Chains A and B, each alone.
Chain A
Amino acid sequence: MKLFVLVVISCVSIYVGYLCSKKYKVRANFFQAMVYLCQKFDVEINYSRERVKNIFLGLDEKQKNKLKGIDINYLSFIDKEAPLEKAMLFKDINFLKEEEKDLIFMFFKGLGRSDVDSQSKEIKNFQNRFETLSANANNENKKYGSLSIKLGFIAGLFILVVFI
């Protein structure tokens, strides 16, 4: 019985390590998707003047998953179901820092508000900043993501060794 409890506890600690690493992975994927979104906007706006809503709806499932629902939250503003507010835009999104939220909020707030040239320049500007954030998030993921898993594993092993 004792052995079983110890195994469960060590598994839990490994799982906690995995969860911590996942946060970094989600952040890295999110900013990668934001960069992709900017690129897509730039192309679609310049080429076909495609409407904002259609650009979001045209995203592939993989990118949509990476955006963690921020696209759906924004579409509810476009569909007049909710005002464009930070709390609404970042509903159920808890892996972003406050200054990152401010930046992303500004990005969404400016979408569709100007002519092609201005919009394109603005998007390029945001794309640069998202690329920096994406690079940082990737580094964090490599550094702390794998570290979290390792720490979880070591903690689990430590519990087993100490109590057996």
Chain B
Amino acid sequence: MLKKILPNDIYEIINSKVNYKVVNEIRLRADKPIVLILGSQRVFLGQNGITNNLKYAIYSSKIMVEDVIFRASECSIYSVNEQLKKGYLVTKGGIRLGIGGDLIEEAGKVKTMTNFNSVNIRLPHEIKNCSLSAFNYIVQNNGILNTLIISPPGAGKTTFLRDFVCQLSERNYAYNVLVLDERGEFDLGASGSIGNFADKISFASKKIGFENGIRSLSPNLIVTDELGQKEDVEAVLYATNSGVSVLASAHSDTLENFIKKPSFEELISNKIFKRYILLSQRNGPGTMEGIYDENFSRLR
């Protein structure tokens, strides 16, 4: 998919002179050098591959940025407008693009985004078995415990969730799993999978997705990414009150900062989540910093 969205010359350099497996992000900004994020390292892209010298860096233009977004939308910006309004775009192969540009507002509502000036291409990488060390802490004899994955952006939350769903399938656990993929990020195309026993609802809000999914697909477990809004918390409460387990993720760099977030107060005080798993980028995306119980006592 990257080949389809990047200019041919840029793709050729990345493909032939950069180790694609370690590239997490490609950042293009109008009239600025192209930056690659490799783990926690930031480097420029040059004609001969990566470079730390600005003199050899390749610069991206506004036209290049616009063309990447146009290509990523499959040459159909109108078909991804709802995503653009929220500042992102997800391609078929699960590549996530964060987009900077001008938001057009009309009658207090965002109508669209135009005049694109930067794009952050986040490359998904399947890290096989990355959820295994936490598996037995989540899956217990009496079912799957409500679990929240906590990490800063780019530390492997989605990868963890995807792998966990896959592990359930591979181990033949008799659970109906519903993946609520609000932003289309679970789809890795041919290179990844969510297993054989999971249903998926895409591009629906958590409120609608949880309600419809529970009614129509009777799941034992709902897996979803990035809780944050009040409505998301309500959706989780709706699911747990309906007897459905929830495996979700949330943004935060430390457990202390997470506990301070007002939107999660109700979930924390009512001990809805029985497990908290903290991830970081310390040794690359998916580094497990700790597993905690509902009282935030460390289990591992």
Contact A51 B70 (CB under 8 A): no
**Chain B residue with minimal CB distance to A77?**
B75
How many residues from B make CB contacts under 8 Å with A? 16
Which of B21-29, B77-85, B133-141, B185-193 sits within the interface? B77-85
A-B contact pairs, 12 of them (CB 8 A): A49-B78, A51-B74, A52-B74, A53-B75, A80-B8, A111-B75, A112-B75, A112-B77, A113-B77, A115-B112, A116-B81, A119-B77
What's the count of A-B pairs with C-beta under 8 Å? 45
Secondary structure call for the B interface: helix
B218 in the interface (beta carbon within 8 A): no
Q: Contact flags (1/0) for A20-56 with B, using CB distance below 8 Å?
A: 0000000000000000000000000100011111000
Contact A113 B70 (CB under 8 A): yes
Q: Contact flags (1/0) for B51-81 with A, using CB distance below 8 Å?
A: 0000000000000000000110111111101
**Please, which residues of chain B bring their CB within 8 A of the CB of A53?**
74-76
How many residues from A make CB contacts under 8 Å with B? 17
B17 in the interface (beta carbon within 8 A): no
Contact A52 B111 (CB under 8 A): no
Quick one: given A80-B4, A80-B8, are A115 and B78 in contact (CB under 8 Å)? Answer: yes
Contact B75 A115 (CB under 8 A): no
Contact B81 A112 (CB under 8 A): no
Interchain nearest-CB distance for B33 vs A (Å): 24
Interchain nearest-CB distance for B280 vs A (Å): 38
Top 5 A-B residue pairs of the complex, sorted by shortest distance between their CB atoms:
A115-B112, A49-B79, A112-B76, A112-B75, A51-B76
Contact A50 B70 (CB under 8 A): no
Docked complex Cα distance between A111 and B70 (Å): 10
**Please, which residues of chain A bring their CB within 8 A of the CB of B77?**
112-115, 119
Contact A78 B75 (CB under 8 A): yes
Q: Contact flags (1/0) for A113-137 with B, using CB distance below 8 Å?
A: 1111111000000000000000000
Q: Could you list 5 further interchain pairs (A-B, Cβ under 8 angstroms) beyond the known A49-B79, A53-B76?
A: A45-B78, A112-B77, A114-B112, A115-B112, A116-B81
